[in-house]
Amino acid sequence: MAVPSFLARERIVAKPGFNRWLIPPAALAVHLSIGQAYATSVYKVALVEHFNASLTEIGIIFSLAIVMLGVSAALFGTWVDKNGPRAAMATAAVFWSAGFIVGSLGIFTNQLWLVYLGYGVLGGIGLGIGYISPVSTLIKWFPDRPGLATGMAIMGFGGGAMVASPLSRQLMNWYDDDYTGAAGEVASGNSVGFLFLTLGLVYLVFMLFGAFIVRVPAADWRPHGFDPATVKQKSLVTTENVSANNAIKTPQFWLLWTVLFCNVTAGIGILEQAAPMIQDFFREGGTSAVAAAAAAGFVGLLSLFNMAGRFVWSSTSDYIGRKPIYMVYLGVGIVLYIGLATIGSSAVWLFVALAAVIISFYGGGFATVPAYLRDLFGTYQVGAIHGRLLTAWAAAGIAGPLIINGILDMQGEPGNLVASDYRPALFIMVGILAVGFVANLLIKPVAEKYFEPKPTDVPEAASTTGDRSLTR
Amino acid sequence: MSTARTDDRGPQEGSKGLVAFAWTLVGIPLVYGLYNTVKAASALFTG
């Protein structure tokens, strides 16, 4: 599928002297926008009342978006790698924005199926393409610090919800005089419709700005003083390239899929349940020592650690290596989960500290995985491989809540649960992390038979479009 | 394949303004979000 020439990869090859520090804000412009997907709880109840629907029916909108994220990232990853970041970012901007606009139409005309189609399907495609759009470009611009580069972008995805939550409350307050944003208040459906319309337009401009400033490095570009040979000296880091189609035939891809699945499943277990969990852990005689406002503060604190972990841990992986950092995420995660299950209810500060570090590992796992893929499979189609790996996220998004909600349903009624009711679920998470730990241990360098043939005498334009003249 | 590498000898002067503008543009919403989240999180210790 061809793209208009002004979006094409060969039109955005950077000239000598280009400042590579322009690429992270381009990536952040996209990730800060699509990170809104984590802020949907702000207007969820307003949609339930507007459509006179159940929470489950409204929940489908967001589940659809996450499923479409996984599907589109997997399906369009190769297209993204081939056509470059400007085409991908612009496409993501159009889909993400169209999702909001069609969704707002559904709200104004009281047709829920239009919101499914808009935010769920169109928006979900924008999410998937947008999420992977800057990844391979960042890795190519920062061969010396790939963890730092992808950490910065994927940190934006965590930050997007932090921006969208208060912004949405503020906008709904403007569009609905009776809504102040206080706990327990519900905005009118029309104000959510106008919110969607506004977000659709704002995100379109913001993401297109990212698309406008993004550039790809020339095929032979290197950062000053960077010697690729120094990277090769680290174990598991290849200077070869593996195509996306070959990558999924390797055990390394599926081991890493398992690692990501386990890390995300364990983190989602806490994230999904954060506010009621802290109240339940400190409930005595039917009353919790943690007030609802403090529980909401705990959710805010977890978002901060989720975002910070993406940047800090991913950057750290540049120094200690990808495999060791996942041993920390999963191995230390096991210890922290056991601590949460056994001594977590002894003091609020201890519970908060354990949960905060666990969530920082959850964020770190997302942000470090593109650099791990680069190490194993090279840069050739790392965006496409990353897209396929994100199916682990979609699967964990189903498994994590299923496990924790299923166990808690067996233990008793919400509002009457106590710390011990969480123990079975927490120990299951320990088992899941142990599986991930073993999978990570089993990751070895990719076999030579999967490597792409070496390009020889390739004209620059051909090599930058991903078309290769190949000889052994 | 060309053997002469396009070595990054540092950014051109003109690009520094654009870099500062781009970081400011993404930094403002990020700081706004961080401020609001820290404000909400403080309820954990005061609420």
Q: What is the pLDDT along chain A (472 residues), one digit of tens a residue?
A: 678 888 888 899 998 889 999 999 999 999 999 999 988 888 988 999 999 988 788 888 988 898 899 899 999 999 998 999 999 999 999 999 999 999 999 999 999 999 999 999 999 999 999 999 999 899 999 999 999 999 998 999 988 988 998 999 999 999 998 898 776 788 999 999 999 999 999 999 999 999 999 999 998 888 888 877 766 667 778 878 999 999 999 999 999 999 999 999 999 878 878 888 999 999 887 788 888 878 888 888 898 999 999 999 999 999 999 999 999 999 999 999 999 999 999 999 999 999 999 999 999 999 999 999 999 999 889 999 999 999 998 888 888 888 888 888 888 877 788 999 999 999 999 999 999 999 999 999 999 999 988 766 444 444 444 433 332 2
Locate the chain A residue with the closest alpha carbon to B31: A163
> Which residues, including other chains, have CB under 8 Å from residue A184's CB and lie 6 or more apart?
none
Both tokens assigned to A258: 């398992």
Q: What angle do CA A331, A364, A267 make, to 5 degrees?
A: 65
For the stretch A242-266, what's the b/e string if a residue is b when 16 or more beta carbons lie within 10 angstroms of its beta carbon? Answer: bbbebbbebebbebbbbbbbbbbbb
Q: Which CATH number fits domain A5-218: 1.10.490.10, 1.10.10.350, 2.60.40.10, 1.20.1250.20?
A: 1.20.1250.20
A232-450: same fold as A5-218?
yes
Query: Can you tell me the distance from the alpha carbon of A298 to that of A339, in angstroms, rounded to the nearest whole number?
Result: 18
Chain A residues with beta carbon closer than 8 angstroms to that of B9? 16-17, 224
Look at residue B5 and tell me if it is in a domain.
Answer: no
Contact A218 B6 (CB under 8 A): yes
Both tokens assigned to B4: 């002469």
Look at residue B9 and tell me if it is in a domain.
Answer: no
Contact A86, A214 (CB under 8 A): yes
Contact A17 B9 (CB under 8 A): yes
Q: Using a CB–CB cutoff of 8 Å, tell me whether B13 touches chain A.
A: no
Contact A363, A305 (CB under 8 A): yes
Q: Write the DSSP symbol of residue A235.
A: T
Query: Can you tell me the distance from the alpha carbon of A266 to that of A403, in angstroms, rounded to the nearest whole number?
Result: 10
Chain B residues with beta carbon closer than 8 angstroms to that of A26? 22
Fold designation for A232-450: Growth Hormone; Chain: A; (1.20.1250)
ipTM over 0.90: no
> Which residues, including other chains, have CB under 8 Å from residue A120's CB and lie 6 or more apart?
A60, A61, A62, A63, A64, A65, A68, A99
Residue type, A210: G
Chain B residues with beta carbon closer than 8 angstroms to that of A32? 26, 29-30
Enclosing domain of residue B32? 16-42
Residue B46, H or E segment:
helix B43-46
Query: Can you tell me the distance from the alpha carbon of A193 to that of A62, in angstroms, rounded to the nearest whole number?
Result: 16
Contact B22 A32 (CB under 8 A): no
Q: Using a CB–CB cutoff of 8 Å, tell me whether A32 touches chain B.
A: yes
Locate the chain B residue with the closest alpha carbon to A223: B8
- Domain ranges in chain A are 5-218, 232-450
Query: Can you tell me the distance from the alpha carbon of B22 to that of A333, in angstroms, rounded to the nearest whole number?
Result: 36
Look at residue B47 and tell me if it is in a domain.
Answer: no
Q: Using a CB–CB cutoff of 8 Å, tell me whether A460 touches chain B.
A: yes
Both tokens assigned to A114: 């239009």
CA distances for B35 relative to A155, B27, B38, B40, angstroms: 16, 12, 5, 9
Chain A residues with beta carbon closer than 8 angstroms to that of B31? none
Query: Can you tell me the distance from the alpha carbon of A225 to that of A106, in angstroms, rounded to the nearest whole number?
Result: 55
Locate the chain B residue with the closest alpha carbon to A16: B6
The closest of A49, A421, A437 to A266, measured between CA atoms, is A437
Q: Using a CB–CB cutoff of 8 Å, tell me whether B29 touches chain A.
A: yes
Q: Using a CB–CB cutoff of 8 Å, tell me whether A214 touches chain B.
A: no
Query: Can you tell me the distance from the alpha carbon of A186 to that of A371, in angstroms, rounded to the nearest whole number?
Result: 42
Contact A300 B43 (CB under 8 A): yes
A224, A295, A299 member nearest B8 (Cβ)? A224
Look at residue B2 and tell me if it is in a domain.
Answer: no
Query: For helices A55-83 and A382-389, what crossing angle results, to 10°?
Result: 160
Query: Can you tell me the distance from the alpha carbon of A211 to that of A209, in angstroms, rounded to the nearest whole number?
Result: 5
Q: What angle do CA A134, A135, A140 make, to 5 degrees?
A: 100
The closest of A365, A392, A354, A372 to A309, measured between CA atoms, is A365
Rounded to a whole number, what is the distance in Å from the CA of B17 to chain A's nearest CA?
10
Contact A157, A31 (CB under 8 A): yes
Query: Can you tell me the distance from the alpha carbon of A78 to that of A373, in angstroms, rounded to the nearest whole number?
Result: 15
Q: Say how many domains are in chain B.
A: 1
